[in-house]
Each structure stands twice: as structure tokens, then as C-alpha cells.
Chain A
Amino acid sequence: MFYKAIFATFLSLFLCHQALASEFKDRVFKAGHPSLQDWVLPEKPEAPSDNLASPERIELGKALFFDPRLSGDGNMSCASCHNPSLGWSDGLPTAKGFKSKVLGRASPTVINTGYNSIQMWDGRKKTLEDQAIGPLESHEEMNTDFSAALASIRGSSEYQKLFAKAYPGEEIDKTTIAKAIANFERTVISRNSRFDRWIQGDKKALTKEEIRGFKLFSNPEKGNCEVCHSAPNFTDNGFHNIGLASFADENPDLGRYAERPLGLMKGAFKTPTIRDITLTAPYFHDGSAETLDDVVDHYVKSGEVKTNLSPNLKELKLSEKEQKAIVAFMKSLTSDSDPVTLPQLPRI
């Protein structure tokens, strides 16, 4: 019994200790402090065991990602909407698809999606492999004629070589196309911002205002942002209705409700990462916020539309100076990434 009690005490100490890192009251806002290390992203996103990374797979995936010839009209690639020059998004309020048709939702960035456990605004895809064929097949997006696209890839000796090196012994088909694209996407990473350097101990990496902004961002009694934009990728991979004005439209986008028909999920969308957030305006799934100041204004009002609002949104008491500090903090989350080189596409 005595030993059991000691064991239980140890176990609870251990469990409490694990819990420490993620709770505001236990965080110490000093550069490199151990209580902040849950913000460090792994060097690379984890790959599924049947699709581990290799330079050949990444090279092939990059070619496919940038190849407009896969699309029905031969003019649209993944990069049309996930454009590296625009933070791997498109700068539009909501995407423009096949023949420039305006679509219902904004193009999310591809940056750091490899770190997330669920994909799409409504979470209808789990992995990047599951996701990659969707936009090709969609009549509203790339409108690919797959038999024609596969025929031209299979007929290209240069593509044949790339596939043989990347996936020896596997077919050239939708599965290997999806695997290669996913492998490439897992190299689109942001983990070297001034914020990251500060977390790792570089005292000069953040200004005083940005550090104040970080505290406010984390503090449940102040900005209360971290409850959803949580470590390490500033997302809980969860779904929340944050009260956008568009939820009052006649036929509003119900978001996650389409996948999980529970009252709470009506108008709930996935929490996006806010790494590299300065590169991807306008914001929200409907593109309704033009600037980060607009975003913070939205939260200060705790939403425009109050029906079915997430219970995790609170009334915020933030002075103007505090709101500015949160915006300043978000601006420190952009990495100085290496320039993106475009692939010379295989002849087909």
C-alpha cells in the first residue's frame, strides 16, 4: 500500500509536470525558457511509413504541383491558388476556379500543412495524400480529365524517369501522383521566424512590444488566442464558429457541420495556422478581414454574429495598445524563407 501511494504521488507529479508546459500560469515569457519549448516545431513533418521523404519524391512532387498541363484546360496548377509568391495562397478573398468561377472559400496556405492532423476548412480530408487528388478531379477547380492526363504523363519519357526514381516498381497513377505531391508539400515549412529564434534563446529576436503581444495572445484573461491557436503550429486542429458576418447569410456555409452533423459544428471552421500570416491576406475562410488589425477588431467584438458562437470565444478587454501588441506579435511569425526555385517541367 505504502509503495502504491509513493508510486501514485510520483505518477501524479509526472502528469502535472507534463501539463505545465501548455498552461498559461506556468509559462515564463523569457527567451529560450523551458516552459515555452512546446512551441518548437519538429524539423520536418512526419511522413506516413509508406511514403517517406526522398529527394527524388520531392522533385517529382514539385513538378506535379507546378504543372498546369494536368488541368482540364491546361492552364491551372496547384500553384495557381497556392502560389509561392503569395505565401502559397492566392491573395483573393475566396478562390477562383475553373474558368475563373468564384468559389465559396479562401485558398488556405500550404505552408506547414504537413504538421497538421486534419486538412481543409471543414476537415473533410485527413492527410496530404488524401487531399491531393481532390482539386484535380473537382470540376470547379482543375477539372482534370484523368485518363488524358495519365496518358500524357505515362507517355513522357522524362516523367517516366522521375516516377521510376521516386517510386520504383509502383504504377504511374493517382496514388503515386498524390504521394509525390504530399512529399513536396511537406517541404513547404515555416519554422525560422524571429519568434522561433526567440523561443530558442535569441533574446534580441523579439522587441518588448512583441513579447507583450505574445503574453496577451496566450493569456486566457486577455487575448485568449492560444486556446485555439495552440503550440506548436498555432492550431488545435479543431473547429470553431467565430461569428463571421457571413454566417447570417441566407444560406450560410455550415463548415464542419457537413462532416459532423452536430449543432455545435454549424458554421465551425478549422483553426488555421498563423505562421507566415503577413503573407496571406485577406483572412478568414470567407476572406472578410483585410488586415490583421481587422482580425483583432473582430475578436474584440467577440464576433459579428452571435448565433452558435464557439463557447471558447470570450469577451475581450483589450486596450488599443494591447491590440497593437498582439498584431505586432503576429507579424513576428513570418520566416525569412529561402527563395523558391521553379522546376523546369518534364516534356510531355
Chain B
Amino acid sequence: MRQLILGFSLVAFSYSVSAAEHTVGQKNKEFTESSLTIKVGDTVHFRNDDSFFHNVFSLSDAKFFDLGSFPQGESKSVVFDQAGEIEVECAIHPTMKMKITVE
């Protein structure tokens, strides 16, 4: 929760700055956000808050990535450098899905 508030304030804070940082958690086999709207050039940190491994990947045209698998407390980040709609999923748990809109 605190991280979330932190995430929000970071978003708010860096609104005026060129590239913002966002954090999306993975908790109870769900992403903490079901959708997120960001700007071209922004960074999203994906952080695993569960006690087991998750993955993060996207096969979307606007951004293609596979962050492998990582344990609790670790995060990996992606810079979104192109506008578009990006479906983000966990390959281990296909019910974990979210959408990032890059404007």
C-alpha cells in the first residue's frame, strides 16, 4: 500500500519532468493495477510481492519483452519507448493480466 502511494506520488511528482517512473506490483497472483496510462519514455518497474516466482512478458507490437522469472522483493523495469496498447501478462499464471496504454 505504501509502495502504491509512493508510486502515485512519484507519478504526480514527475508529471512535469520528462520521463516518469511507475511501479506495478504482483500480489496474490494478480497485478496490483489492471490498467495504467503512461507517456512515451516512461519506465515501469514490475515488482514481485508474492512469496513465489512470477514472470512478466508482452508479445504486443508496441513493446515485446520477457523479463524471465524473479522472486519476492525483486523488480525488473521496462522503458516504454513507443505509443500503443500493451498487454502485459505472467506466463506462469495466465490469469494475471494488465494493460498499459502508452500515449
Interface residues of A (CB under 8 A from B): 8, 11-12, 15, 18-19, 22-23, 117-118, 123, 220, 227, 236-240, 256, 260, 262-265, 268, 310-312
Q: Give the one of A263, A311, A312 with max B CB within 10 A.
A: A311
Taking a contact as CB atoms under 8 Å apart, the answer to whether B53 and A311 are in contact is yes
Q: What are 26 A-B interface contacts by the 8 Å CB criterion? A: A12-B1, A18-B28, A19-B27, A22-B28, A23-B51, A117-B94, A118-B94, A238-B92, A238-B93, A239-B91, A239-B92, A239-B94, A240-B92, A256-B91, A260-B57, A260-B91, A263-B66, A263-B68, A264-B68, A264-B69, A264-B91, A264-B92, A310-B92, A311-B53, A312-B52, A312-B53
**Size class of B's contact patch?**
20 to 34
Mark interface residues in B60-103 (1 if CB within 8 Å of A CB, else 0): 00000010110100000000000000000001111100000000
B31 CB to nearest chain A CB (Å): 14
In angstroms, how far is the closest chain B Cβ from the Cβ of A269?
12
Task: State whether A220 touches B92 (Cβ < 8 A).
Answer: no
Distance in Å from the Cβ of A120 to the closest Cβ of chain B? 12
A23 to B28, CA, bound (A): 9
- How far is it, in angstroms, between the C-alpha of A260 and the C-alpha of B92 when the chains are bound? 10
Name the B residues within 8 Å of A123 (CB-CB).
Answer: 94
Besides the known contacts A220-B52, A239-B94, 17 further A-B residue pairs in the complex with CB atoms under 8 A apart: A12-B1, A19-B28, A22-B28, A23-B51, A117-B94, A227-B52, A237-B93, A238-B95, A260-B91, A262-B57, A262-B66, A264-B66, A264-B92, A310-B92, A311-B69, A311-B71, A312-B52
